[in-house]
Chains A and B, each alone.
Chain A
Amino acid sequence: MDFPFAYSVMEMKFMSDIKLHLDQWHQNLNGRMVSFAGYSMPVQYEGVMTEHLWTRENAGLFDVSHMGQLILSSDSDDVGAALEALLPGNIATLGIDRLRYSLLLAQDGGILDDLMVTRRSDDYYMVVNGAVKHEDMAYIRENLPDSVNLNYMEDHALLALQGPKAGDVMKRLIPETDMLYFMQAASYEWDGISLWISRSGYTGEDGFEISVHNDHAQKLADALIAHEQVKPIGLGARDSLRLEAGLPLYGHDLNPEILPFAASLGFAVPKRRREEGGFIGSDAVLEQFNIGPQMVRVGIKVDGRQPVREGAIIVDEGGETIGNITSGGFAPSLQYPISMGYVPANMATEGTELILQQRGKNIAGFVTSMPFVPNGYRRPPKAA
């Protein structure tokens, strides 16, 4: 047999891979290290299925330190206004210590990356994808006024604690984190160590993302996995969890050829920005909004048990290619295969039957709403 063609990139190892600060820690826990985004990263410890289901029931600890953590600040300029000239979201009007999902767009509206941005009292904190972080930094630098400083927090690790028991565990370490709701963040001190913690993540579950200086990352990771509810979780389960949550993966479901409305990410271009424009790529993005995208990202439930993965196509009854699959796999929480892909806009309605074609074989599926698995975010209580 041949070894994996779907995740072939992840199964290879390169001498040039950067080691995570916690590399030895992962190896001590039997992490199987593979190449991803230029880093040597743990793809699994016990097994993808077990780790996935553990995270959905308990809490998983992910090391996502390959991601780019950036700080944008200025003594003279309004960084929020400068960021609104760059990003399509409501950045300037964001509350302090609130975060938003946003997109880095090219002049033609194509998606260069997706990211999280937090407004803090004195600066903005941004997390971008590891695989494109250096390109992102160059692009952001080029498109912001010189008076805005861009700092790359290379000396910080990023840990994610995800799952329905993440809140309880975090509360035991730092009781004040109980005050955080989904998409809120704050700085905390734990055992003399300063942490930046947001209630966010990439699994669809409640959870946190914790920025910690490399010098203290292992101490924090050890303190977290010391709780019996917490196990270390690899990239394999991270991918299946985000897929079930309907969250796109940059470089797969999103790329520079795709604009936000086609990607079903219209929420990242809120009403005021649709009316006012004024961000990089806004002409093209608003044109797509007005005339409607030709192709749309949808969730697909696949018949049978065989996963239909990235690279498969969608065909019409005559066998002509009409769309493509950008992510897919077997959903451990659902026990059937699911995919994400692009279909013509008139076929994007729920229930539309599709013919998927993988390695010459036709497999039936239909359009379904996302998330595939309901999310468990801890949202603020509704005002009475």
Chain B
Amino acid sequence: MVRYYTEDHEWIEVEDDNAIVGITDYAQGQLGDVVFVETPTAETIFAKGDDAAVVESVKAASDVYAPVSGEVIKGNDALVEDPALVNSDPEGEGWFFKMTLTDSTELDALMDEDAYKEFIADL
């Protein structure tokens, strides 16, 4: 399993052609208290960068983008009942959706954990 990060503060954990996607701890900290999450339905097909999910905090609404191209396997139903999981465990239980990858070479453009840490340190 390898975890990659985007400049838009999504993380994607990849194993073979399957992946789990969520938003980073930095992102949830910027958003504040999450009150609503809309995750994509199974079989939705994304191109890299497409709007994939919506996350709403008390303050604001934000789109979550597909970090790579692929097809949704399932959204995280637990976020419907308990959107605050995004705050309490953003990089674990607070995942957004699982997907299959269509082109794993797209991962080459993403950051690893160290690169992402450097990236947010400069923000």
Residues of A within 8 A of B (CB): 1-8, 10-11, 43-44, 47-50, 52, 236, 240, 304-307, 309, 329-330, 332, 337
Contact = CB atoms under 8 A, between A and B. Distances in A.
A47 B61 contact: no
Given A1-B23, A1-B55, A330 B61 contact: no
Contact of A47 (B23, B33, B38, B55): B33
Nearest to A336: B35
Given A1-B23, A1-B65, A48-B33, A306 B38 contact: yes
Nearest to A49: B33
B62 interface: yes
A293 to B, nearest CB: 30
B64 A7 contact: no
B58 A240 contact: yes
B30 A7 contact: no
Give the 10 A-B CB pairs with smallest separation, nearest first.
A4-B60, A49-B33, A330-B35, A6-B60, A48-B58, A1-B64, A306-B36, A7-B60, A305-B36, A1-B62
Contacts, number: 77
21 contacts: A1-B9, A1-B10, A1-B62, A2-B62, A2-B63, A3-B60, A5-B61, A6-B60, A7-B59, A10-B59, A44-B32, A44-B59, A47-B32, A49-B32, A305-B36, A305-B83, A306-B54, A329-B58, A329-B59, A330-B56, A330-B58
A48 B9 CA distance: 21
B61 A307 contact: yes
B57 to A, nearest CB: 8
Interface string B36-52: 10100000000000000
A47 B57 CA distance: 11
B77 interface: no
A77 B27 CA distance: 58
A48 B36 contact: no
A330 B10 CA distance: 24
A309 B83 CA distance: 18
A10 B30 CA distance: 13
A5 B62 contact: yes
A4 B58 contact: no
Contact of A1 (B32, B63, B83): B63
B106 interface: no
Contact of A236 (B10, B58, B61, B63): B58
B17 interface: no
A306 B36 CA distance: 6
Contacts of A3: 30-31, 60, 62
Given A49-B58, A236-B59, 15 more contacts: A1-B8, A1-B55, A2-B62, A3-B60, A4-B31, A6-B60, A44-B32, A48-B58, A48-B59, A305-B35, A305-B83, A306-B56, A307-B36, A309-B61, A330-B36
A212 B44 CA distance: 58
B65 A4 contact: no
| Residue among A2, A5, A337 with most chain B CB within 10 A | A2
Contacts of B57: 4, 48
B1 to A, nearest CB: 22
A5 B83 CA distance: 19
Nearest to A43: B59
A39 to B, nearest CB: 18
B44 to A, nearest CB: 15
Contacts of B55: 1
Contacts of B58: 48-49, 52, 236, 240, 329-330, 332
